[in-house]
Chains A and B, each alone.
Chain A
């Protein structure tokens, strides 16, 4: 069973460009979470999605950031008009949430390291 997959692993963008980060959850997982990690910091929650639905986006900046998890294909985190402060590692996690406490556990992908020049 393949783990959570993210691509690209490294992404370099110039200020003002768009960054598009992809996340494929583990097989059988229909819940996806995005987190951002700044250097020497813990992870900060951004958004929680289920297939075709945004459940909680309370951690996501109101402007320039958007996320989707379509019926088919990976979840996408999009950052428009990137600025230097967007440079960070972005992690995706997935969980099955099929019932029972252990199904709530989140499994993390390898992350995408975004560098804005």
Chain B
């Protein structure tokens, strides 16, 4: 059974600081997704990582994938309050279901 673990689960950081969220998964997969969820809202797709070594950046967020280590990272640069949300990584199984991590609840304080 594929397990996806995120850490940390809770992250409180000051505006302007940098931090990294980690996503480890237990079996081979070449497709990993990062989503953002605001309270009471749906999931917004942030990044689709489809191969080993993939790196994508959007604004203050950068995601990378190391399929050999079964690790993805989401790096936050110079955080701002608007980034406060819960971030999920998800790995797909056999081109069908997505298995999600528990999420990292990020709070950016002024």
Contacts and interface: CB of A to CB of B under 8 A. Distances in A.
Interface of A: 33, 35, 40-45, 48, 55-56, 58-59, 91, 93, 101-102, 104-111, 113
Interface residues of B, number: 23
A108 B33 contact: no
Given A44-B100, A48-B97, A104 B42 contact: no
Nearest to A108: B43
Contacts of B41: 110
A9 to B, nearest CB: 10
Interface in B43-58: 43, 45, 48, 50
Contacts of B90: 42-43
Contacts, number: 55
Contacts of A48: 96-97
B100 A105 contact: no
Contacts of A101: 31, 50
A105 B33 contact: yes
A24 B88 CA distance: 24
Nearest to B93: A45
A111 B42 contact: yes
Given A104-B95, A105-B48, A42 B102 contact: yes
Nearest to B43: A108
Most buried by B among A44, A91, A104: A104
B98 interface: yes
A42 B50 contact: no
User: Among the interface residues A42, A91, A105, which one has the most CB atoms of the partner chain B within 10 A?
Assistant: A42
A45 B99 contact: yes
Contact of B48 (A33, A41, A102): A102
